[in-house]
Structure 1
Amino acid sequence: MKRKGMLIILSSPSGAGKSTLARRLMAWDPTLRFSVSATTRPPRPGEVDGRDYVFRSRAEFEAMVEAGEMLEHAEVFGNLYGSPKAPVLAAMAEGCDTLFDIDWQGGQQIKQAMGDDVVSVFVLPPSIAELERRLRARGQDSPEVISSRMARSEAEISHWAEYDYVLINDDVDRAEADLETILSAERLRRFRQPGLSEFVRRLNAEFEAR
């Protein structure tokens, strides 16, 4: 029975495991689409247009916003970022779900635009000390950058109650299993299965024919 695709928003402070869970969810269900963000920043070495980001000039990006072609957008450090609407609507029409790895501000914009088609999940770390340990264990950032990420984490966590579901990622395997359970249950919601009414009508017709 064909169902309507939905939008899955996954958010967390940096270091809480959002990206790891997103990769695992995509491996669990290869039909999931990942929302590729558009940006005005120049490509970095090795980045491919349409795979890593949709690279656009500022004028092109602003024209997309003006035409209502973005589900959400924001300016970060002088560059524009946003989520193009067309691929998401196409996936929904095919009954496929789209995964968004975005912050709470982008998530709120998408929820305002798409309403009940959105399922939002916030991932919390088991403790602040563990969050900082994970950031340092990456070995990718300077102490100053880590300090900045920790400061932003406090603001991110303050919005936890705005999400439909909240997971505490103290065990990544359990968090993944919980995330898969959420997705499976949300797919079975009655309003996401438009063919149910016709199916029940056929059942009633069978009763009448007995």
Structure 2
Amino acid sequence: MKNNNLIIIVTGPSGVGKSTLLKNLPSDRFYFSVSHTTRPPRPGEEHGKHYYFISRKEFLEMIERDEFLEWVEVFGTFYGTAKSEIERAFSQNKHLVLDIEVIGATRLRSYFGSQAIFIFIAPPDLEELKERLIKRGTETEETLKERIKRAKEELKFATWFDYVIINDDLEKTKRQFFSIVDSELCKPFRNAQWKNLLNSFNFI
């Protein structure tokens, strides 16, 4: 599994704006891991693009076969990252991006080690997060309360991550996010141009 490509693990409470942020990464250099879920698709979502939408029975069978890198159950819905997604990214020689649940993210440190960076996206406050969830139009009053309650718990994990970005302004958040990614890609062991230069002088 080990190579010099970057693995970016992005997490944060539901509705904080992770998907909006990540869609700005170029797909020719970054592979976006597609998670499996047992929830039904929302309007506009496509199987294999936004999620792999599968039944609860199928998900449990995948757990039994040890096919997940990580998985979590949230409000009765399962979410998981299949190991095959990692293999697809590396086979294409792309940097891997995972947008996953907070608890699932915390389980991956020992697996990826220093090859991965962990970025937590936080809302400016819970009231703003609530407004974003309402605007999404996918929550009932009950699920909205559950998500806000869960967000309070998830925010306690923020200091565990390598970076914390408060998404109070999308343009500013994008600048901060890309600054982190660019900085990580400039590290000598990931910088292909630098390695080629060293090779040309027979340094390595």
Compute the TM-score of the two structures, normalised by the length of structure 1. Answer: 0.78
Identity of aligned residues (%): 36
- For 1:14, give the aligned amino acid: S
* Number of equivalenced pairs: 200
Deviations along 1:82-138, one digit per CA (max 9) or x if unpaired, are: 111223233134331222221211112222222122111111222233222333344
Is the 2:188–2:195 contact (alpha carbons within 8 Å) kept by the matching residues of 1? no
More helix by share: 1
**Alignment partner, residue 13 of structure 1:** 13
Is the 1:123–1:168 contact (alpha carbons within 8 Å) kept by the matching residues of 2? yes
Is the 1:11–1:101 contact (alpha carbons within 8 Å) kept by the matching residues of 2? yes
Looking at structure 2, the residues matched to 182 and 100 of structure 1 have their Cα atoms a distance apart, in angstroms, of 15
Give the C-alpha shift of residue 175 in structure 1: 0.3
Give the C-alpha shift of residue 174 in structure 1: 0.7
Aligned-residue Cα RMSD (Å) equals: 2.9
**Alignment partner, residue 115 of structure 1:** 113
Secondary structure, in 3 states, of the residue corresponding to 1:13?
coil
Give the C-alpha shift of residue 149 in structure 1: 1.5
- For 1:30, give the aligned amino acid: S
**Alignment partner, residue 155 of structure 1:** 153
Give the C-alpha shift of residue 182 in structure 1: 1.0
Give the C-alpha shift of residue 151 in structure 1: 0.9
In structure 2, relative to structure 1, the CA distance for the partners of 1:44 and 1:151 (3 Å cut) is closer
Looking at structure 2, the residues matched to 70 and 151 of structure 1 have their Cα atoms a distance apart, in angstroms, of 27
- For 1:22, give the aligned amino acid: L
Moved more, 170-179 or 6-15: 6-15
Secondary structure, in 3 states, of the residue corresponding to 1:192?
coil
Looking at structure 2, the residues matched to 201 and 107 of structure 1 have their Cα atoms a distance apart, in angstroms, of 36
Is the 2:32–2:97 contact (alpha carbons within 8 Å) kept by the matching residues of 1? yes
**Alignment partner, residue 208 of structure 1:** none
For structure 2, the residue ranges without an aligned partner over 5 or more in a row are none
Looking at structure 1, the residues matched to 41 and 153 of structure 2 have their Cα atoms a distance apart, in angstroms, of 29
Specify the structure having the higher radius of gyration (Cα). Answer: 1
In structure 2, relative to structure 1, the CA distance for the partners of 1:174 and 1:198 (3 Å cut) is closer
Give the C-alpha shift of residue 192 in structure 1: 2.6
In structure 2, relative to structure 1, the CA distance for the partners of 1:119 and 1:84 (3 Å cut) is same
Equivalent residues in 2 for 1:1-210 (5 A)? 4-23=4-23, 25-26=24-25, 29-31=26-28, 32-40=30-38, 48-56=46-54, 60-193=58-191, 199-204=197-202
Deviations along 1:168-192, one digit per CA (max 9) or x if unpaired, are: 1111101011111111111122233
In structure 2, relative to structure 1, the CA distance for the partners of 1:128 and 1:5 (3 Å cut) is same
Looking at structure 2, the residues matched to 200 and 54 of structure 1 have their Cα atoms a distance apart, in angstroms, of 42
- For 1:15, give the aligned amino acid: G
For structure 1, the residue ranges without an aligned partner over 5 or more in a row are 206-210
Give the C-alpha shift of residue 167 in structure 1: 0.7
Looking at structure 2, the residues matched to 108 and 139 of structure 1 have their Cα atoms a distance apart, in angstroms, of 29
Looking at structure 1, the residues matched to 116 and 166 of structure 2 have their Cα atoms a distance apart, in angstroms, of 21
Moved more, 41-50 or 141-150: 41-50
